[in-house]
Structure formats: C-alpha cells, structure tokens
Amino acid sequence: MPESLWQPKSLAQLQQALLEDRAFLEFPEGGHFVLQNLQDSPCRSACPAGVDVKGYVGLIAQGRFQEALDLVRRACPLPGVCGRICTHPCELACQRSELDDAVAVRLLKRFIADWELAHGARGIPRAERRRAENVAVIGSGPAGLAAALDLARLGYGVTVFEAEASPGGMLAQVIPGYRLPRDILAAEIAAIAGAGVEFRTGVRIGQDLSLEDLRGQGFAAVVIAVGMPLGRHLEVQGEKDYAGVYDCVSFLRREHTAPRDHRGEKLLVIGGGMSAMDAARTGVRLGFDSVQVVYRRTRDEMPAIEVDVVEAVAEGVELVFLAGPRRILGEDGRVTGLECDRMKLVAADESGRPRPVPIRGSDFTLPADVIVEAISQRSDLSFLPRALDFEVGAWSNLVTDPVTMATRVPWAFACGDVVTGPDTVVGAMAQGHVAARSVHAFLRGQPLTRPALAPPLEAQVRNRLPRKQARVPASSLDPAERGGFDEVERGYDVAAAMVEAARCMRCGPCEDCLVCASDCRHRHVMLAAPGTGPGAAAEPFEPVLIRVPADREEFPLQDAPRRVTLRWQPRGGRAAKGAARDAAPGELGLELTPLVCAVEEPLCRGCGDCLLACPYEAIRLEERGEGRPLVAVVQTERCRGCGTCVTACPTQAMHPGWFSHRGVLEQIDKLLAGAADLKAEDGSHEPRLLLISCNWCFPMSEALAATLPAGTRSLRLLCTGRVHPSFVTRAFEAGADGVFVAGCAKGECHYGGGNERLLATAASLRGALNLIGLAPERFEARLFPTGSAEAVVAAVQDFEAGLRRAGALRLATAAILPLEVSL
C-alpha cells in the first residue's frame, strides 16, 4: 500500500505521524499544528531525555503504575537503571524545593520499574516492522540502547553490536552492583529486545567485523555509540614503574568480573567525581583496610553527587582534600605510596571551579598498596577505517554535528560518551534520541534537523503553594551490613510512592500525560499551535487538546469543538511539503477542542461571576456595543482549564474544553445507573452512595479502594471547587442514598481555593436539601489533608453506616428525566 494512503487508526499512530512530520493539522482559518508542547514543566525541561516527569508522577499518584512506566519509556528505555543511578536534574529544577523538598522523582521512577518486575514484567510492546531498512548500532550503553529502541519504534530493523559478552556498556562493566544490581539491567535490556531490537554480543567491530562489512551486510545506517571505555592516567612520575596502579575503568571492570581479596591493603583513589566514589566504595567492599580519596580541591568542588559522597563517608571512606598527586612511590616493583603537594585554591579557572595550586615545600606522603586514578576516560576508535572521513577530536572524541549527531560519513551517526566525553546515563540517552531521529531523516531522504527545544516555563504557573509536606524518605542498607555488593538503597513501597508522587505541584499546563483521560472518559492529546498563517511555526504556541472522533459515541461531549483537517504527505516533512504537495496528499477531518474554557457569547449576561471565581485571573469583561451586556472573555494564555468558572456561571455560558457541566451530570447518571440493583426490596438495604473527590490529593491503591462500601460509586473531579449543587441533587434524582464530597485541606488546592468554594457550595446546598426534607446525614462535604486516603475511606465508611440507619431514599419513580440540551 502506498504510504500516501496511510490513515491513522489510533491515537498513538496519529501522535507518531505528527511526531515524524508525516502529518499535520490544518485549521480552516489557516495555520498548522505540530505535536510539540512548547511550554514544558520545569522538571521536563531539565531532563536531557525529555521524560514527561509531571505526567508519570501524576499517574503514580493515582496508582496507575503500568501507565506511568509506559509514559517513562516513551523517552527513557531504562527506567530501572535511571531510577537508581540517574543524576536527576529534574529534581534540581523541581519547584517544590522552594517550599520544602523536591519531589523524589528518581525514587518514584525506580518504584514503578521495580513494581513491574515484581508483578510480572509486561515490558515494551513489540514494535511493528514497517520499513525495509536495517540499522546497526555499535555499543549497547545507554546511548546505543535509546537510539536502538527509537529506531525500532520507527519501524526499522535494528541490530545492536556489543564487543563484550553481555550488553549494557559501562552499566554492565563498571557501575558497581551495590548501586545497580545486574538483574535490573538485564531485565531492562530484555524489555528492549522484546520490543524488537536484536542484540549480537561478543562481536567487536574492527576485529570480528569491519564497519564496511556492516554496510555490506545491508545496514543502511550505523549509529556509533561505543562510549569511552578506557581510563586515563595522570602522567605523573612512577606511574608506569610499579604494579598496583590502575585507571578507574580498568580497576572497576577487573574487580567486577574477578573480585580479589584485598584484606590488609591500603587503597588510594585519585579524583573527586562519581567514578572516584565508585572505586572507593568498591574498595571498601573488597576488604581494603583503609580507603582514601585524594582530591585537589575541597568537598564543595567535588563533581560527585552528594548522596554518593555521603554514603562513601558512611561506609568508612576517608576524604583527603587539597592534595595534588606529585609522584608515585614504590619498592620492589610494587607501589607503596603517593607523594602529594598540599594545595591552595585561587581564582576560578575556565571550568568555573577555583583552581588549585601547590604550596611550595608542603609535600607529604600517603601510604598505599593500590592506587586508582579516577580522573577521566578516553575512547578506542581504532576500528574506524582510515579510508573513511571520520574526524577525531582532541579528547579522543568522535566529532559530530552538534545538532544532528551526524559524522562526516553520511550513513554514520554517533552519540553518547564517544561524542561528549564521560557524561551521565540520561545525557547519553538524550543523544541517542537525537541520533535516531537523524538516522530516520537520513533514511527518508529528509534534511537533518532537530526540533527547537521547548523553552522552560517562564512564569510560575502555580500561584499558591500547598502546605508543607516533607519528602518521603527511602531507607537504605545499614552501613554495618554493607559487606558485599548488595544494593544499598531501598526503594519505595506502593503507599510511600503514591504519597510522594502526590507531592508534585503539577507546574505548567497539560502535557499529554493522559493522567486525566480515564476520569474525563475521553482521550485527548496535547498539541501546540503556531501563530496563524502558513509556515509560522516560530510563532508562540497555544496549548490545545485534540480528541479522537471514535471516542465520541461512548463519551459524548457537548462543548462546541472546532473542525480541523489532518493532512498527510507521501513523503513527510514540512520542508518537503512544496514538492510533495501535488503527489497524493490525504486528509481526515478531526475535531479540536481548546484546553481552555470558552464563553458562548449569546448565553453570557456579563455578570462577572466567572471572573471572581477564576483562580488564574484569566477572565475579563469586554464591551459589545451600546445597550448590550458585557461579555466575559477568557484569556487563553492564562486559563488552565480547571473549570471553576463553569460552576460559577449561572447561565452555563462557560464551556470547558474537555468535560462540560452536562458531561459531569451524564457521568453521575451512568455511575449510579450501574448500582440500581443494589437496592433490595426485602429491606436488606445496600446504600448507593456517590463519592466525589479531588483528583489529585487522595491516591488510593486498589486494595484500599476495595475497602470502600460496596455501594460506593466514585467520581473524581480535577477540583472539588468544581462541585455544582446540581451534581448532588442530580445524584439523588438518579437514586443515590447519599453523596459524600472529599476535598483537599485548606491551602493544599492545586487551583487556589477550590476547597473553600466547595465548603461555601456545601453550606448553601445543605440549606436547600434541608428544605426538601432530605435527612442531613445523606450529604456531607469534608476536607482531608493531602495523601490521607485512609482517612477518606474511614469517613466514607462512617457515612455509609449513617445511610444504613437512615434507610433507603425512596423516590416516586425510578425514571430519570433526560438531561437538558444546550445547543
């Protein structure tokens, strides 16, 4: 079938097509939409690989762990690895740290990865092979794995070549097991293999096969992700004269593959980075009598992340600062010690750190049996054929185009440490994504580009901070018990993970995480729109939602969606659009609904109630001429779509882009209709009860939710400030015996004062219900501290006991009057 006849059959396919620029959305008034949210939350902006942090944390808070993991895997193929050893730049950007502690994002990612393993891993769905070309990836470290998975998902045949016996690169060879158990790594690589990536281990390119051989075997493109597997030396006197001096990579690789007994020996590690900490802490486990880390600067300048330093010290590692190695000493061919200069710090060098200079005549000696030089790494590029035009940089790095990761050889791309020098796992994965995208563009004959990165969120979106609530700590193995290579850090359990995830303040607008999708009962994706006019992609984007028409029947919505056209080309890419325009473009009508609230002007009487209710000051009143009432206008750039104004509007002139007033009433009818058989005629009454709760604050595990009374039907709203009195009266009309509303505690509302609005609504509603003689025990609205799902359940149980005492609410007819139409 020619590609021009392609039609999206699912939301995922549509997203993929948009991502690949094979398709775009065209609006009647002009302008195109491409899939990119140009306003990321700070955590996502900070993540080099672009993991949707806010999205998966939100899903964890709701107990939707597999979905959370799926979301992580869109951008990170190694959640279990990153959940352990990622340097988590997202946490450094977390806005919650302004209030108390950053959300423990890394531990949360680790939790879902562990959870999947413990529950029979589902892994990554097998990618459909849709394209003829094969791609070879050399090296199976994080960069190679990320590129391989992306390419497999794009439909290519992908083979990863690994020189060592097992895949994983530095993760498998060098990272100590107490930080990264190898079964975790193996499971994640198995998941990537399960997605359709082929692994060939023990094949060293340059020895077993040459680069040209790969081309000859039908690999249309090659991704070079060989890393920097060799250690660097200090180049000091005595270094090559005595046994017992190692570079860090060799030391760790050797001790990992064949650990030896070092009891009675002294270890000196030179360097202050993460690999220095790995070497030192490994030394502790190998039985060294003493382990000292020698560093030229002070603790403040150490590149190693804090937790590694803390753990090293806890395990007995001694840190020697302001010590500059000068000469390695030895006797009888064996190392005996290190002669150092005492250093002092002077003004910063080009790395931004204070520069250490030796103090004259201050030299001292540290005794040692083994010295590990943990200073840096280098590559082994001997496999690159001289005939090809590769460029190797001063640090033995492979030079690429910084934007596209293209080498000078058209079919070869490179990523990871071999390009950047030693970097983090997440940094390597980020490069893998770029390389995969470029390979795809190369194979499709498109120009190599990288989409502009989303600028970080400028203004802080939240305008009120929630109550302080400290990060949930994760326990770790007692230092006294850390003899072997058992993993030191313990992850979260289900309850701890959900409570911690609920601390996320959800900065920024919707990010296509679909957290809300199951509650809204319809699926939508986040798109971003350029300004109007063709080719205006550089203009500011406004967030929008797009809904798949197939969802309409089951979950009808009455908000007025706009008609947009999805167009696609035989050969994708907007750059190629002019040439491809006349080939065989296809199109498909879609409905697009803004995330923002919108005013139906004929219904608006200009009362301004919405303006007062809006937590974001997103509404203003505009004049519409003499004798006409003012009209409320939503400032789309401020609106967050919470729907608070929808409840405040007396005339239903305000429509949210997603679930309307009528939509909620329909959900209520539906929820309660299913419980109709609960009311027994024989008097053994099982009360029907509607629980309306805040979407964010009461993550409830399945086990806990199962302890809710049997007649409970649950409706979650983004904000309980959205509760309209008619939701409650409708529930009674539909046959509920009671309605319980659980809001978050004062000061904890994501949308400002939604919980206070709930209390005001409840007070007046209670008055009205009292007038129709409805027993007070049939309606209750209460606030609970964030995360206290157990308290909510207990309160609902009490409430249900009251309903049992009150008996069934008897109605004259079971027929529910149809909902009103508002066209």
Partner 1 sequence: MKLRDIIRETQAYYCLDCGKCTAVCPVAAHSETFSPRLTVLHALLGHNGGRPAGRLLGDCLTCGLCTEVCPSAVRYLSFTQMLRREMAETGSPPACSHGGVLTSLMRLQARKLEGRRGHDWVPAEARWAETGPLLYFTGCLPYYEVCFAELGASPLQTARDVLAVLNGLGATPVLLDDELCCGHDLYWNGDEDDARRLAERGAAAIAAAGAETVVSACPECVHALRDLWPALGVATGFRALHLSEYLAERGAAGELGLAVLPGRATYHDSCRLARQLGVVEAPRASLRTIYGSGFREMERHGREAVCCGTSGWLQCDAVSRRLQAERLREAAATGAATLVTACPKCRIHFLCAQGGESDDEVKGLRIRDYASVVREAMEGGEAFGDTA
Q: How far is the CB of 622 from partner 1 (least distance, A)?
A: 13
Q: Which stretch binds partner 1 (CB under 8 A): 58-66, 205-213, 749-757, 814-822?
A: 814-822
Q: How far is the CB of 740 from partner 1 (least distance, A)?
A: 18
Is residue 270 within 8 A of residue 234, CB to CB? The reply is yes
* 3-class DSSP state of 452: coil
Is residue 25 within 8 A of residue 592, CB to CB? The reply is yes
Residues 784-813, mask of contacts with partner 1 (x by CB under 8 A): -------------------------xxxxx
Say which amino acid occupies 315.
E
Nearer to partner 1, 402 or 629 (CB): 629
Nearer to partner 1, 662 or 713 (CB): 662
The two beta strands, 619-622 and 631-634, are: antiparallel
Among 261, 260, 248, residue whose Cα is nearest residue 293? 248
Nearer to partner 1, 607 or 745 (CB): 607
Q: CA 16, CA 508: separation in Å to the nearest integer? A: 23
Q: How far is the CB of 646 from partner 1 (least distance, A)?
A: 9
User: Cα(first)–Cα(last) distance of the chain, in Å?
Assistant: 42
Nearer to partner 1, 455 or 629 (CB): 629
Residues 626-655, mask of contacts with partner 1 (x by CB under 8 A): -xxxxx---------------x--xxxx--
Nearer to partner 1, 101 or 600 (CB): 600
Nearer to partner 1, 198 or 601 (CB): 601
Asked whether position 292 contacts partner 1 by CB under 8 A, the answer is no
Residues 659-688, mask of contacts with partner 1 (x by CB under 8 A): --x---x-----------------------
Q: State which of positions 704-743 bind partner 1 (CB under 8 A).
A: 724-726, 729-730, 732-733
Residues 505-544, mask of contacts with partner 1 (x by CB under 8 A): ----------------------------------------
Q: How far is the CB of 556 from partner 1 (least distance, A)?
A: 13
Q: How far is the CB of 732 from partner 1 (least distance, A)?
A: 6
By residue count, the chain amounts to 823
Q: State which of positions 595-614 bind partner 1 (CB under 8 A).
A: 601-608
**How many Å separate Cα 249 from the centre of its chain?**
31
For 494, residues 6+ apart whose C-beta sits below 8 A from its C-beta are 63, 115, 701
Rule CB under 8 A: choose which of 1, 394, 470, 821 binds partner 1. Answer: 821
Q: What is the 3-state secondary structure (H, E, C) of 539-605?
A: CCCEEEEEECHHHCCCCCCCCCCEEEEEEECCCCCHHHHHHHCCCCCEEEEEEEEECCCEECHHHCC
Nearer to partner 1, 216 or 629 (CB): 629
DSSP run (H or E) holding 766: helix 754-771
Q: Is 319 exposed, middle or buried (0-12, 13-18, 19+ CB in 10 A)?
A: buried
Nearer to partner 1, 65 or 740 (CB): 740
Rule CB under 8 A: choose which of 768, 794, 797, 801 binds partner 1. Answer: 768
If binding means CB under 8 A, how many residues of this protein chain bind partner 1?
48
Q: How far is the CB of 624 from partner 1 (least distance, A)?
A: 8
Q: Is 117 left (phi over 0), alpha (psi -120 to 50) or beta?
A: alpha
Q: How far is the CB of 814 from partner 1 (least distance, A)?
A: 9
Q: How far is the CB of 679 from partner 1 (least distance, A)?
A: 14
Is residue 807 within 8 A of residue 724, CB to CB? The reply is no
Residues 454-473, mask of contacts with partner 1 (x by CB under 8 A): --------------------
What is the largest distance, in Å, between two alpha-carbon atoms of the chain? 104
CA distances from 312 to 182, 307, 367, 485, 504 (A): 21, 8, 20, 14, 30
Any idea what the Cα angle at residue 664 is, between residues 662 and 667, rounded to 5°? 110
Q: Which residues sit at the interface with partner 1, rule CB under 8 A? A: 601-608, 627-631, 647, 650-653, 661, 665, 724-726, 729-730, 732-733, 764-765, 767-768, 770-775, 809-813, 817-818, 820-823
